[in-house]
Amino acid sequence: MGWSTSTLLRPVHGWFFVWEDVVPSLYRVVAVVTGAALTTVAVRVFGIGPTWLVAIVATLAWIGLGVAQEHDERVQVPADEAFVGALRTRVDDLLGDHGFAFHSATGGVRARRKRHTTVFYSGAERNDQVLWIVRDPKACTLDVRLGFGDVRDLAALLRDRGETEIAERLARAADPTADADAVGDALEAALAS
């Protein structure tokens, strides 16, 4: 198994994500400054170079790591093709009959450990109609949301209508084809009335 850029940067991503949780708006700046300061202290413990030079080199190194980390945040990973293919086969015609068209499918970003597939359908005639399906097989979750400003959870909508079995199946991811069928069953039940 080879090393990828993402694997090598995993500790760096972790460092930035910790700071993202602490200071969401300025996390990159705080992560770079704190990392550079800690690196400077660690290198100075070994008596290497003058403090000012070590601080400059450490700051430049952490800026470079920040740039690499940000780049990984922008690199899209492919969506789960088995799920997207099964889903489109199962629901495209059904959704087309109700004014929705397939828009896109993404697999998240390379920097994040959470690799979920998001499938997006938009209203063909009205821009305020959207539907997105998020499947995360590692977390065993499946989520379907409908709406734009007023977002509705499809599983909650089905529970309110007494369709608890369909709603419960919709909430958990298992197999790409079975999950596509669960989404199709849920949409049929929701769109029937």
Taking the CB of residue 88, how many other CB atoms lie within 10 A of it? 16
CA distances from 174 to 20, 71, 106, 168 (A): 31, 32, 19, 12
Range 125-152 burial, b when 16+ CB lie within 10 A, else e: eeeebbbbbbbbbeeeebbbebeeeeee
CA distances from 53 to 1, 34, 36, 63, 180 (A): 38, 17, 12, 15, 57
Rounded to whole angstroms, how far apart are CA atoms 87 and 57?
51
Mean pLDDT score across all residues of the chain: 84
Rounded to whole angstroms, how far apart are CA atoms 22 and 91?
41
pLDDT at 192: 78
DSSP 34-80: HHHHHHHHHHHHTT-S-HHHHHHHHHHHHHHHHHHHHHHHH-BPPP-
Taking the CB of residue 41, how many other CB atoms lie within 10 A of it? 13
Tens of pLDDT along 131-177? 889 888 888 888 888 875 566 788 888 888 888 888 888 888 888 99
pLDDT at 84: 92
Least reliable range by pLDDT among 41-50, 86-95, 108-117, 164-173: 108-117
CA distances from 104 to 13, 78, 122, 131, 168 (A): 27, 11, 9, 11, 26
Least reliable range by pLDDT among 14-28, 89-103, 121-135, 175-189: 121-135
- Please report which helix (H) or strand (E) contains residue 25, including its range: none
- pTM comes to 0.68
Rounded to whole angstroms, how far apart are CA atoms 4 and 130?
36
